[in-house]
Amino acid sequence: MVDGYTRIAGLIGDPVAHSLSPPIHNAAYRAAGLNYLYLPFRVRRGHLPAAIRAVLSLEMVGVNVTSPYKEAVLPYLDELSAEAKLLGAVNTVAPVNGGLKGFNTDVEGFLYLLESAALLPLKGETAVLLGAGGAARAVALALQKAGIARLVIVNRSVERAQALRRTLSPAAPFKGVEIAVDQPGRPTFSGKRIAGASLLINCTSVDPVESGILPAQKAIRNLKAIIDLRYSPPEPPFLQWAAAAGVTAINGLNMLLGQGRRSFEIMTGQEAPLEVMKEALAGGGE
């Protein structure tokens, strides 16, 4: 029941109407006996500074931050967690010591996805990333923590791929980080690029089937899994393509769940009721 003691949490982004975060977090609040309410807030870019200031002025519990503001929000924060600073992106903001602290739960979210899919450990293995943006940075760091030894970064822009490699250099001691530059409709990462790899992960917002950046189907058959960080629709063309080759195909829903678990803990100071959150997610409930 909403009353004068209800604390507000939420999601800031544009768009946010599709988000699965509200049902997940609200179910968790009820299970934990917290008089909290989680709401989605569509924020236009020009209103972002005011929206972030409102976390303090309205005494909110905190907010999650989604596209396109994970990097744009940085100038309005007083402090960053170590991972948010390294990745240059924030997806959770909470009041800390009278100011606002930014966190990045993407690494923990992806590690939870790997764990839930029984893909761990990955010590000494190889992963191929499609994309070199913010999501790819977080996934690469998670893979390093999971024991991956070698990365292949497949991206259209060599500059962005090199920037990702530089970001990883001080933090992720991979044995090798290889860059493959692709052009639409002309895939350059052949079967040799994927030979011996365990994972192929789409870290872009575009379906690789639609962009034409794919290896030959026969080259993927020895992979442990193909992962698409997107979760809507749950079976996009890329994952259908993977399944048709007999490869385990995984969407990003469990990454969302892992992200949500950590952001719940940041905002409330309590352990997240994970099973309740799982049930809310399974029921249709970022």
Catalytic residue positions, numbered = 70
| Interstrand relation of 99-103 and 92-96 (parallel, antiparallel or unpaired) | antiparallel
Does 184 sit behind a cis peptide bond, omega within 30 degrees of 0 on the bond before it?
Answer: no
